[in-house]
Structure formats: structure tokens, C-alpha cells
Chain A
Amino acid sequence: MNRVQGTAVERPWALRVERPTPEIASVELTGVWRKEHGLPDPSEVLRQLQGASPVHLLTFDTSHLTGWDSGLVTFASRVFEEARALGIASDRAGLPDGAQRLLRLAEAVPERQTNRSGLPPSWLARIGTRAAADWTAIVVGLAFLGESLFALGALLRGRARFRLVDLLSVIQECGPRALGIVSLISFLIGLILGFVGAVQLEQFGASIFVANLVAIAMTREIGCIMTAIVMAGRTGAAFAAQLGTMNTNQEIDALSTMGISPTEFLVLPRMLALIFMMPLLTIYADLVGILGGAVVGVALLGLGPTEYFEQTRGAVGLASFFIGVGKSVVFGILVALVGCLRGMQSGRSAAAVGLAATSAVVTSIVLIIVVDGVFAVILNVLSL
């Protein structure tokens, strides 16, 4: 006679396996069998049966059971399963009536053979799947780029269909409403550049060149990059979320079946808005950044405001200025296209829309930095 029993306080259940005859094993369950009290391991019961003489029939005795829930049913079904594997017949008549019904319900529809095992596929399969998915993503991205350029072409021929009011509201959203954060970021960046420059240049008595450092860095690189990154986080994510939600709600399908191109109707106004607004925001960021540098120059280094201004004017050529503004247009197109693409590719669930927004921001920022690197190399070759 074997007993499995927990301490009385924590474990209100008890399990006992009896052998009324050598062929029959009777499992006696007493007390309360609920999930929250923990349950015994079903294989424990079977192990106790593998004794002297072979068992042919397994029965249950639950006459002293005082409470149960699906934990008992799970336990019993596992015991039956393992008994079947050992070739032992089982009789479930001893179980509570409700538990028997639940077991019958669970067994009513046989398990479907699906090819989802829950096991992770082999590393080779994972690499293959990933590579295939990446390749598809590249093809889809290029197709989308081509479609957007076609839409831009249609616009130039005056044949693109979108609502002017949509364009204006996107411009409002990504232009004027972004001024606050662009001001703050570029002022602080200008300030930081000024500090870094001041500490180094003061040692050589060349403090005035802080103006050159700040002005060139802001107009050529930092102004457009910081603006683009702010826009990627602010506007690119918003585009992806908007279009992702529209996709979930079949609004994009509705446009297609209506014969209205989603690229023209949704992507074009967003792309145009950023093409218009990015250069303006960048010029603004350049000015605010230079102002931040001037604060350091005047307050920390004791340079005269006029002196600083004149030095800045001498330092920034038209080339640096236009390089920065030109890059900002490219970054604007990037942010708009990536945001829209991720939104239109989004799956049709809340989680998918969130992923689309995240992925839009990450992809945009990576592309901004990479493209800026490409620009640096090209401009270096052209010695501009």
C-alpha cells in the first residue's frame, strides 16, 4: 500500500493506490482537488503500478472527494493516457459525473494533425526562412519605391488623385506642430557643440573658431540629421500607425476596389508634405543651433555678438548650406516612404500595428545614417 500525501495544511488532497485483486488497481482520491493547491504528477501513479504482478484494469474511487475542478480532469486524463500507453485498460465510472462529461467533451473531436509542433525549427530552416523573408521584403520595398515614384510622375503630369485637404492637414501636422521639439533639440545640440569646441579651442587661443565649428557642423550635418531623426520618431511612426490601422479596417482595400490608388491617395500627400517641410525645418534647425553656439561663445568665451555673427557668416559657404538642405529632402522622402510602407504592410491586428510603428522608426533611422554616410563619401569624392 503506497501513499502520496502532502502536508495537511498546504495539500488538502490525498492519493492512494490500492489493489483489491492482483489485476485491478484502484486509485482513491480524497479531499479537495483544485489547481491552486498543486496536483501530483500522473506518472507517479503508474510507477506504483509497476510492481509484482501486472495490472489489467485501472479504476477510480472518488467517494470521499469533497471538491474538484479542471485540475482533477487534467490529472485523470493524463493517467488514462499513460495507462493506455502501458496497455492497461481503465474504467472511469468512479470519477464524478461532471468530470466524466468533461473528459468525453475533450475527446469528442480527435486531435487535428497540424504541422505546428511548437518545437523551434532547425537552425538551417530558420536561416532559410529568414533569408527568404528578407529577400521578399527587399523586392516589396523596391516595388513600393517604384510605385511611389510613378505616383510622383502622375502628380507632375497633373493626374494624381488625392485630396488637397489631406495634404494640408499632413503639412500642418508635420511642419508647424514639430517646431517645438525641433527648436529644443537643435538649440541644445548647438549649445553642446559650442561647449565641446570651446574647451578644445580655448587651449590654442582660437576661441573665435567655435563659430566656424558650430556653423559648419549644424548646416552641413547635424541640422538635417537631427531634424530627420525627430521626424522619423514623430511623423514616420504616425504614418505607419495611421496606415496600419486603415489596413486593419480594410480602408485601403476599399480605396483599391474603388479604383483609387492607395499610393496616390495616401502616400503621395505624406511624401509631399515632408518634401516641403523638411528643408524648412532644417533651415530653422540650423539657425537655432547656431544661436545655441552663439550663447556659449558670448556667455562663456566672452566673444562679442557681432564678432560671432561675422565669423559665422564667413564660415558657412552656400555649398554647406545647400548640402544640408538637399540631404534633408532625401531624408524627408525616406521617412515618409518607410512610414507608409510599414503601415501598408502591417498585419491586421493591434500588435501588428504597434510593430509597424516600431519598425518604421528603426528602419528610418538606420537608413538616414547610412544614406548620410553615402553622401559623405560622394561629396568627398566630388571635393565639395
Chain B
Amino acid sequence: MASGVTPPPPRITVDDLTMAYGSFVIQHDLSFTVAPGEIFVVMGGSGCGKSTLLNHMVGLRAPAKGDVLYDGRSFCHAETEEREHLRRRLGVSYQAGALWSSMTLAENVALPLETFTELSPKQIREIVSLKLALVGLAGFEEFYPSEISGGMLKRAGVARAMALDPDILFFDEPSAGLDPISSRRLDDLILELRASLGATMVVVTHELASIFAIADRAVFLDAETRTMIAMGDPKKLRDESPEASVRAFLTRGGPDAGGAR
């Protein structure tokens, strides 16, 4: 039924992006698009530049070449005002939560609301409670980040990322450092949020279980050639990718481990 329908215009376009620290190129010539409502995974071995790509997509680093576009509008080369405007549509959940440690969880989630909306303190309190409840942290409003566990920190980070109801959410290594159950719960949360909010998600991870559980499509960044060498449904990539290193990655060096070397 979908065959006759033209695909919707991409929400995110990464256009010929090259990332470098000084003269050291981390990844070059990255081009891909993410459709609205899609869960898109950026995968690859440790140190290949996955998190750096995320930092470029959210504007923490400037590209050496190329651009990132949201709904066709340039982000990297936009004027400051326009950029700030686009930025408010993005929510970022960091690897270790990155909650502001001098504030309670409620204050963390409330800060963007206080800064960018005209809501009354009472309304903000209600929204904050709802967001914390969505990530399973109802009742933890008055806790400081140092008082809760790593898994709770990440979920609180997700609640803060969702504070302004962004239509694009970024996750940096959501399952890193979590036990299997917590990591599974976070995956379920990501799927649930996509289903209910319809948000577009970009997830940086190398956890195979997560990749297969949540990804609609994935891009594989290769550390050797320093560029993307595969893109598509990870299950298909695992079985059919012409690149031996991609098949090896997706099977833990598995059935055809010979291809890993």
C-alpha cells in the first residue's frame, strides 16, 4: 500500500558532513536522512566518532565541511537567532544524564520551561510532575542528582530532554553502564515515547540488543575508513550486508567470525 505514496520529506538531513578536531579527521562524507517519526540508530565501534556525530547534529561542534538540516533548513550555517529557535525543537539525553547537579530533578526539568515559556509556577510544577511520571520517576521531584542511581539519572535526563516537547530527541549511549533490565526498560521507554509523541529519535549506541529492539534504520560508522559504510534495517544488514565488518559487528564477530579480522 505504501508503494504509491511518495515518502514524506526528511525531518533531518545530514549533508556531506565532515568532522575534524583540528587537522585530525574523525569521519568524512557522511550523508543520510531521517524520516519523521523514525528511530534512527548511529552505530559503530568504540571511538569511531558516534558521539561526535551527535555533538555536531545538536550544534555543540561546528562541522569542518557540510551541513545538518532540519526540515530542509540549515542548522550549522543558520544565523544565531534561527539556530536558537531550531535548537528548542531538539531534546538531548546525555550519556550520564548530565543533570545540573546543584538543582533537584524538578528544578532540572523546570528550568527550560521557566526560561522559554510563560507558564505560571503552578502549571510548570504540574508539567514537571507529568514528565517525571512518564519516565517512571514520580515522587522523586525533590531529589538531587547525586541521590539517585545511574539508570534513574538517565531517565531523569530523558524527562528533561522532553520538557519543551521537542519533536526530535537525541540519545547518547542510552544503555551504556546499565544492567540488562534497566537498559531494556530504557529501550521500551524510547519505543513508547515514539509511539505516543510521534517524535523522531536519533540514538547513538553500540548495544546490539538495543539496536535490534528499537532501530527502524541504522547507519554504521567505520573507524578504519573513517566514513559510513552501511545503512539500513539492522536485521537486514546483519544478514545481507556486503561489508564483512558490519556483519561481524552485528553478530559480535559471530557466525562468520572470519570476516571480523
A: residues with CB less than 8 A from B are 161, 163, 166, 245-246, 249-251, 253-260
Residue of A nearest to B84 (CB): A259
B94 touches which of A163, A253, A260 (Cβ 8 Å)? A253
Top 9 nearest A-B pairs (CB, nearest first) are A250-B98, A254-B98, A257-B92, A259-B87, A250-B94, A257-B58, A259-B84, A251-B98, A258-B112
CA distance A7 to B170 in the complex (A): 67
- Once the chains bind, are A161 and B115 in contact (CB under 8 Å)? yes
B60 touches which of A161, A253, A260 (Cβ 8 Å)? A253
Subset of 16 A-B contacts with CB under 8 Å? A166-B102, A246-B100, A246-B101, A250-B95, A251-B101, A253-B55, A253-B60, A253-B94, A255-B100, A256-B59, A256-B60, A257-B87, A258-B111, A259-B88, A259-B112, A260-B112
Q: Which residues from A are CB-within-8-Å of B99?
A: 251, 254
CA distance A249 to B98 in the complex (A): 5
CA distance A255 to B94 in the complex (A): 12
Q: Which residues from B are CB-within-8-Å of A256?
A: 59-60
B174 → chain A, closest Cβ, in Å? Answer: 14
- Once the chains bind, are A250 and B84 in contact (CB under 8 Å)? no
Q: Which residues from A are CB-within-8-Å of B60?
A: 253, 256-257
CA distance A96 to B64 in the complex (A): 53
Q: Which residues from B are CB-within-8-Å of A253?
A: 55, 60, 92, 94, 98
Query: Given A253-B60, A254-B92 in contact, is the A259-B98 Cβ separation under 8 Å?
Result: no
Q: Which residues from B are CB-within-8-Å of A163?
A: 111
Query: Other CB < 8 Å A-B pairs besides A256-B59, A259-B116, A260-B111, 20 of them?
Result: A163-B111, A166-B102, A245-B101, A246-B100, A246-B101, A249-B101, A250-B94, A250-B98, A251-B99, A251-B100, A253-B92, A254-B92, A254-B160, A255-B100, A257-B58, A257-B59, A258-B111, A258-B115, A259-B112, A260-B112
- Once the chains bind, are B96 and A250 in contact (CB under 8 Å)? yes
CA distance A71 to B55 in the complex (A): 45
CA distance A259 to B95 in the complex (A): 19
A354 → chain B, closest Cβ, in Å? Answer: 18
A370 → chain B, closest Cβ, in Å? Answer: 31
Residue of B nearest to A108 (CB): B261
Interface string of B112-140 (1 = CB under 8 A from A): 10011000000000000000000000000
CA distance A260 to B101 in the complex (A): 16
Q: Which residues from B are CB-within-8-Å of A254?
A: 92, 94, 98-100, 160
Q: Which residues from A are CB-within-8-Å of B43?
A: none
B260 → chain A, closest Cβ, in Å? Answer: 12
B: residues with CB less than 8 A from A are 55, 58-60, 84, 87-88, 90, 92, 94-96, 98-102, 111-112, 115-116, 160
Residue of B nearest to A250 (CB): B98
Q: Which residues from A are CB-within-8-Å of B98?
A: 249-251, 253-254
Q: Which residues from A are CB-within-8-Å of B94?
A: 250, 253-254
Residue of A nearest to B83 (CB): A259
CA distance A163 to B87 in the complex (A): 21
CA distance A226 to B95 in the complex (A): 43
Q: Which residues from A are CB-within-8-Å of B59?
A: 256-257
Q: Which residues from A are CB-within-8-Å of B112?
A: 258-260
A133 → chain B, closest Cβ, in Å? Answer: 12
CA distance A258 to B90 in the complex (A): 8
B254 → chain A, closest Cβ, in Å? Answer: 19
Q: Which residues from A are CB-within-8-Å of B92?
A: 253-254, 257
Residue of A nearest to B108 (CB): A254
Residue of B nearest to A161 (CB): B115
Q: Which residues from A are CB-within-8-Å of B116?
A: 259
Residue of A nearest to B58 (CB): A257
A373 → chain B, closest Cβ, in Å? Answer: 37
CA distance A254 to B87 in the complex (A): 12
CA distance A259 to B166 in the complex (A): 12
Q: Which residues from A are CB-within-8-Å of B84?
A: 259
B134 → chain A, closest Cβ, in Å? Answer: 18
B261 → chain A, closest Cβ, in Å? Answer: 10
A32 → chain B, closest Cβ, in Å? Answer: 38
- The residue among B87, B92, B98, B111 with the most chain A CB atoms within 10 A of its own CB is B98
A165 → chain B, closest Cβ, in Å? Answer: 9
Residue of B nearest to A259 (CB): B87
- Once the chains bind, are B101 and A257 in contact (CB under 8 Å)? no
Query: Given A161-B115, A250-B95 in contact, is the A257-B90 Cβ separation under 8 Å?
Result: yes
Q: Which residues from B are CB-within-8-Å of A245?
A: 101
A187 → chain B, closest Cβ, in Å? Answer: 34
CA distance A161 to B87 in the complex (A): 16
CA distance A256 to B84 in the complex (A): 10
CA distance A249 to B115 in the complex (A): 22
B115 touches which of A251, A257, A260 (Cβ 8 Å)? A260
CA distance A258 to B111 in the complex (A): 10
CA distance A245 to B101 in the complex (A): 10
Q: Which residues from B are CB-within-8-Å of A260?
A: 111-112, 115
B224 → chain A, closest Cβ, in Å? Answer: 12
CA distance A79 to B17 in the complex (A): 49
- Once the chains bind, are B96 and A249 in contact (CB under 8 Å)? yes
CA distance A260 to B114 in the complex (A): 11
CA distance A255 to B92 in the complex (A): 10
Q: Which residues from A are CB-within-8-Å of B115?
A: 161, 258-260
B187 → chain A, closest Cβ, in Å? Answer: 22
- The residue among A246, A253, A257 with the most chain B CB atoms within 10 A of its own CB is A257
CA distance A255 to B99 in the complex (A): 10
A130 → chain B, closest Cβ, in Å? Answer: 16
CA distance A355 to B54 in the complex (A): 28
